[in-house]
Amino acid sequence: MRVFTNPVGPGTLWFDNLATADGTPVGYDPQARTFVASPPYCANREVIGCNWIAPDPGAFCRSCAMTALAPDRSIFNAMPNWALTEAAKRWVLDNLGRWSWFRPEDRGTRPVFHMLAEGPTPVSMGHIEGVVTISVAEADEVVRTTRRQALDEPYRTMIGHMRHEIAHMLWWRLSLRADFLDAFRALFGDERTDYQAALQRHYNDGPPPNWRDHYLTSYASAHPHEDWAETAANLLHLTDIADSFAAADLHAPVLPESGWDAYAETDAARLIHVSATLAIGINHVNRSMGLSDLYPFVVTGAAHRKLAFVHEWLRRGALGR
């Protein structure tokens, strides 16, 4: 993610800012990828702290307009959890916009989001034919950490959830192309195998003993659909780690050049090498503070090939270049 110029004075702005350091209200323009100091702002600005601009007064921004179902406000903590969930969605949508996904020039289907709070019954997150369902309860750090530990996962965040579930939607978009499906099946396997049976087998028996040789996560071994979603999410993790590192004006010998743009990089091998090298270094820094690794995954040869495949197709963007 980039670091942004203050439109009304000195200093910089971060992606989630609603105002400058001196209190001047600002909004993010996702089309121009810049901050502006003039409304109209999103109708959800006062509701959940959305900092994007809107096309018209009283309208929703591009991101909030994709949310068809909002959580039940009567459920405890639904509103603050929804605000954090929408912030994660905006981050991921802006990342994908660097490759033209879901921008005005993209004439394909947009994702529709169902943002649900949890009452007595947990919400199952997932994607079906363009509809992405997200449990906003997982924006609560205690809930999310409890589930991460119960599922023995090394990484679980709202941005991670968004990247994974939107990746399913991107697969659905790309699957309309026969050349994509043929290439996908050759590398990931046949997604037409019984999905529910595969998941049940995964939860009953666990991953195969050698899953680390072929997959980035144990869950990826459950089914080709999950392998794609986990790999695509990791490609987005890695690209944004490198992009954010460079945008923060940090320096490392592995960076190809000054001003290098990770999203413009066409060489998947170089992107993955740079990103993984930076992640290993930041993991070391995190450990100095007793924190979990920033990027707790191992990129094997098989995973590298899958990441390169995802990079090729996502980098082409919604325009199919």
Q: Give tens-digit pLDDT for 203-243.
A: 999 999 999 999 999 999 999 999 999 999 999 999 999 99
- How does DSSP classify residue 289? T
Beta-carbon contacts of 52 under 8 Å, excluding residues fewer than 6 positions away, are: 27, 28, 29, 30, 41, 42, 61, 62, 63, 64, 90
Q: For the segment 100-136, what is each residue's pLDDT rounded down to a tens digit?
A: 999 999 999 999 999 999 988 889 999 999 999 999 9
The radius of gyration of the chain from alpha carbons, rounded to an integer in Å, stands at: 20
Count Cβ atoms within 10 A of the Cβ of residue 289 and give its class: 0-12 exposed, 13-18 middle, 19 or more buried: exposed
Rounded to the nearest 10 degrees, the angle between the axes of helix 78-97 and helix 158-174 is 50
What's the sign of the alpha-carbon dihedral 136, 139, 143, 146? Answer: positive
Q: Does the structure show a pLDDT above 80 at 80? A: yes
Tell how strand 112-116 and strand 131-135 pair up. Answer: parallel
Percent of the chain topping pLDDT 70: 99
C-alpha 100/C-alpha 104 separation (Å) is: 8
Q: For the segment 147-206, what is each residue's pLDDT rounded down to a tens digit?
A: 999 998 999 999 999 999 999 999 999 998 889 999 999 999 999 999 999 999 999 999
Please check whether residue 114 is in contact with residue 132, taking contact to mean a CB–CB distance below 8 angstroms: yes
C-alpha 74/C-alpha 203 separation (Å) is: 33
Terminal-to-terminal C-alpha distance of the chain: 23
Q: For the segment 26-67, what is each residue's pLDDT rounded down to a tens digit?
A: 999 999 999 999 999 999 999 999 999 999 999 999 999 999
Reading the block at residue 59, the tokens are 């309208």
In 10 A of CB 1, how many CB atoms? 16
Please report the pLDDT score of residue 132 as a whole number: 98
Query: What is the rounded average pLDDT for all residues in the chain?
Result: 96
SS3 for 15? coil
Please check whether residue 85 is in contact with residue 71, taking contact to mean a CB–CB distance below 8 angstroms: no
SS3 for 232? helix
Please check whether residue 115 is in contact with residue 136, taking contact to mean a CB–CB distance below 8 angstroms: yes
Reading the block at residue 157, the tokens are 């965040």
pLDDT band at 89 (very low <50, low <70, confident <90, very high): very high
C-alpha 140/C-alpha 13 separation (Å) is: 26
pTM: 0.96
Q: What are the structural domain ranges in the chain?
A: 1-61, 62-157, 175-321
Please report the pLDDT score of residue 321 as a whole number: 58
